[in-house]
Amino acid sequence: MKFNLLGKDFYKDVFTLMGGIGIAQVIPIAVSPILTRLYTPEEFGLLAFYAAWIAIIGVVATGRYEMAILMPENDSKAKNLAAFAILLVAGAALITLFVFLLFGKDIIAYLGFEGFDLLIVLIPAGVLGIALFQVFIYLLNRTRDYKGMATAKICRSGGGSGVQLLLGYASFSTYGLLFGKLFGDLISTAYGWWLSRKNERLKDVHLNWGEMKNQAKKYREFPKVNAPHALTNTSSSSLPNILLASFFSSGVAGFYSLSHRMCFAPVQLISSSVQQVYSRTLTERYNRDEEIHDFSLSVCKQLSLAAVVPFGILLLFAPALFEFVFGESWREAGVYSQILTPFLFLVFIVSPLTYIPLLLNEQRKAFKIDIVYLFLRVAALTGGLLAGSAWIAIAAFSAVGVAVQLYLLFWILSLTKTAN
């Protein structure tokens, strides 16, 4: 298979994004050895709990309309669709605040974080930040402002890590990690909004309520089908952060959180960059009635080659590496990373391909797969609870992930064979 199917522009766009995302990923990695000495595993567990909630709510706050921003035939329709998504985010944040004001204390206490009442306000604010960020990122992706996308992600990472360090040194450690994440989400969202305001393709586009409704109606399959799919998918991946804290302790959730943070760095560095560019390039090829199977297979092969060495090192040496870098008390996080390595390797390869079911209107089957995936993950974690072992819980979680990712890989590639 010739890799030149991808084209020079594809590589240029990917490496532009990779440069920004690389810096954005290096920042939290660089500060993590300091953060693990300023904050306890329990405080990392609190951050994981908060991040899980805002991810689960935030992924559906837009109605998933941000995923459709690439599809309208002109920028006017795309911007009106984005504006509609922003209105949905505002409504979702207000509803979340209302629900948590009424029931937040009971929910938080039941899940093992009694007394952390500030979460009642922080979670709705976090939903606002994380969901709006996605809308502006897709707008910038549509206009091919990859430099702006990369800079926004650097702002998110750098701003968040800076505040976390500052509050840690100031001994404001209980909520320091949470405030840092929230600050990073909000400042990067503000920057994304500013970039979209001055973008040459978007700044003269006028918003119209009628056009917003037309676009929302045209792409109504996204909230109807893709939003439940995304909710199931995100709930599935965020479950360990909530259930490990509830089943075992916030410290166990903290170990998993650091493992997730460190191991997903190489995954996100390349895979998310490829996904952003791949989705746009794939859409263009599909609309021109060009083949997409060989193109997609080529992406998979190159991701596999890029992943062998870093994931091999992780599989062999993770516990020792975590102990050396983060301190003796964090060796357990390295064991978790070792267990999760095969699963993460497959996620790295499959993630960019998950746009294909959206493009080919196969969202319903993808949703069914994710429902099964969610139940299998809950069963895996529950099995670990019954066995009384966090290791067994994470090993079962990883095994389920490997099986499902392999199925997704073969299914999605089979779709591309008959796409045109």
pLDDT score of 50: 95
pLDDT score of 58: 94
pLDDT score of 1: 43
pTM: 0.81
pLDDT score of 279: 80
3-state secondary structure the chain: CCHHHHCHHHHHHHHHHHHHHHHHHHHHHHHHHHHHHHCCHHHHHHHHHHHHHHHHHHHHHCCCHHHHCCCCCCHHHHHHHHHHHHHHHHHHHHHHHHHHHHHHHHHHHHCCCCCCCCHHHHHHHHHHHHHHHHHHHHHHHHCCCHHHHHHHHHHHHHHHHHHHHHHHHCCCCCCHHHHHHHHHHHHHHHHHHHHHHHCCCCCCCCCCHHHHHHHHHHCCHHHHHHHHHHHHHHHHHHHHHHHHHHHCCHHHHHHHHHHHHHHHHHHHHHHHHHHHHHHHHHHHHHHCCCCCHHHHHHHHHHHHHHHHHHHHHHHHHHHHHHHHHHCHHHHHHHHHHHHHHHHHHHHHHHHHHHHHHHHCCCHHHHHHHHHHHHHHHHHHHHHHHHHCCHHHHHHHHHHHHHHHHHHHHHHHHHHHHCCC
Q: What is the mean pLDDT of each run of 10 residues along the chain (420 residues)?
A: 55 66 82 93 93 94 91 86 94 96 91 88 96 93 85 92 95 90 96 86 82 90 85 84 88 91 74 76 81 84 86 92 91 94 92 85 84 91 89 94 95 83
pLDDT score of 206: 80
pLDDT score of 17: 65
